Amino acid sequence: MLTNEILKAVAGYTANMQKAVTFVLQTGEHSKRAELVAFLTDISKQSEHIQLEERDMDGLLRSPISFLMQADGVDTGIRFSGIPSGHEFNSLILAILHASGTPLKLDDSVKNIIAGVEENLHFEVFISLSCHNCPDVVQSLNQFALLNPNISTEMIDGGHYQALIKERDIQGVPSVYLNGELFANGKVDTAQLIDKLIQRAPPAALSSSDQASLALQDVTIIGGGPAGASAAIYSARKGLKVTLVADRIGGQLKDTMGIENFISVSKTTGPELSGALQSHMNEYDITFKEYLKVTEVEGGDIKTVTLSSGEKIFTKTLIIATGANWRELGVPGEKENVGNGVAYCPHCDGPFFKGKDVAVIGGGNSGIEAALDLAGMVKSVNVFEFMPDLKADQILVDKAMAKPNITIHKNVATKEITATNGKVSAIEYIDRATDTEHSLKLDGIFVQIGLIPNSVFLGDLVEKTRFGEVVINEKCQTSESGIFACGDVTTVPYKQIIISMGEGSKASLASFEYLMTEGDRLEELFYSENTEKMAIAS
């Protein structure tokens, strides 16, 4: 299962472990147990600090293919039920390293939120080994467990626990349960998990001394996608004090699997490109506030950005690069059935519909790409496009038309998504040309109708279109002095990765130009007139 090359890499990763890590495997019989034992044995042989023990844990572990991790003999709260290979192999290796003393790459404010939870929390994360988003959730909750002894978490490979999957009627991953109740379903990320924890246990108000580490910033960037990363790199290269706030580095990009139009790179994926963005930014002196959201922005000469952690950032300029999220249909049955047949990520949830009938809503590039991706695993794909013609590139349309199991419906409007026994069973739609209603039986629906700008948090601070896009000029300037915007959140047409990167660099250069004339004045203003902010920033 593990090649010599992989094992050699594991040996290198674990060479500097500071604590002994023990895999404690539940005793018993299971058809996959021998495979799991061989898997864990191979890993344990790569370091004298890793051991494998088999014990009867008296109900603490789920099955004979479940194991927990101890660090220096102490339970870390981390459990795995199944064989963490595939996309989850990194989750296991990171758990070993973090449990053995490798520092967690979490902001101090995030650590404080997690460490402050007093309630006993047990998470169950249902995953599939082919899921691209699942490892982020597993790895985040593993870190939560390491930060707080009141928290434990278990990765559960649904493929080995079909009875449990059926009992809980799980149709999408990751599905996260907390103390036996559904906590998060479908596409979920670390920031959403932290948000839910904050709602469950709000952090205490931060004192001035708690916030003293971050001085007045030259540039604060909100958003960590291609536009935000580009703006951060360009700003840091100018020698400016730069902070980047993002709920996740990569943003919507992380959900894109196939990228073949990023000039000079013939083929890559969203996760790969997101990792490259992070690595590039790490080469510069940039302060990251990851997994946090902005709850309020105040304008004025000095802008104030309030985070979900309670922290406040004071900055001379602000660059909005918050991108956009999947647009929802807004029809009956959509929200009610998310995770029960309604999905937004074909790469994540497509495998759950193998051999079944599904629909894709949307005839743009994303919709046709999703249909082509799904066609290889499902029984049939019906594409529904509201307009009389498809908006996708012709090369994609030609590929879809050539697939015998793809049917395209144009000039139709989705009316309702119906469910039977808690699962999607049909789509109701209207033929706009004849105004007749139709019903099509199916098992799943993938919504691919575009993006909606993430600009609500700005309120009326800057001018926006009726669609929520931030209005900018040719220099990415908004209607508010010192506030710039770039990427998919703005009025710039053609929502493309490479365009967002260019817009991010342009916004950075424009903010630098602004600071050349206003920076010294703003610095003096901040430290001479605002004693409260001066106390926080000094």
Residues identified as active-site: 345, 348-349
- Residue in the structure block whose two tokens are 């290269």: 237
Q: What does the DSSP 8-state code read for residue 220?
A: E
**Residue found by looking up tokens 């103390």 in the block:** 179
Q: Residue 83 has which token pair?
A: 């064989």
Judge contact between 339 and 424, C-beta under 8 A: no
The neighbour count for residue 484, using CB atoms within 10 Å, is 31
Q: Do residues 100 and 156 make contact, with C-beta atoms less than 8 angstroms apart?
A: no
Query: How many other C-beta atoms can be found within 10 angstroms of the C-beta atom of residue 477?
Result: 20
Number of alpha helices (DSSP H) and beta strands (DSSP E) in the chain: 14, 25
CA distance linking residue 473 with residue 488, whole number of Å = 14
8 A C-beta contact, residue 71 and residue 21: yes
Cα gap 124→25, rounded to integer Å: 18
Q: What is the spatial distance between Cα 68 and Cα 102, in angstroms, rounded to a whole number?
A: 19
- In the block, residue with structure tokens 């985070």: 307
The CA distance from 385 to 383, in Å, is 7
Q: Which two tokens stand for residue 474?
A: 């040719």
Number of other CB atoms surrounding residue 19 within 10 Å? 16
> Which one-letter DSSP state was computed for residue 480?
S
Q: How far apart are CA 503 and CA 412, in angstroms?
A: 35
- CB neighbours of residue 404 within 10 Å: 7
DSSP 71: E
Q: Distance (Å, rounded) from C-alpha 75 to C-alpha 145?
A: 10
Q: How far apart are CA 228 and CA 507, in angstroms?
A: 9
Give me the phi and psi of 326, to 5 degrees please: -55, 135
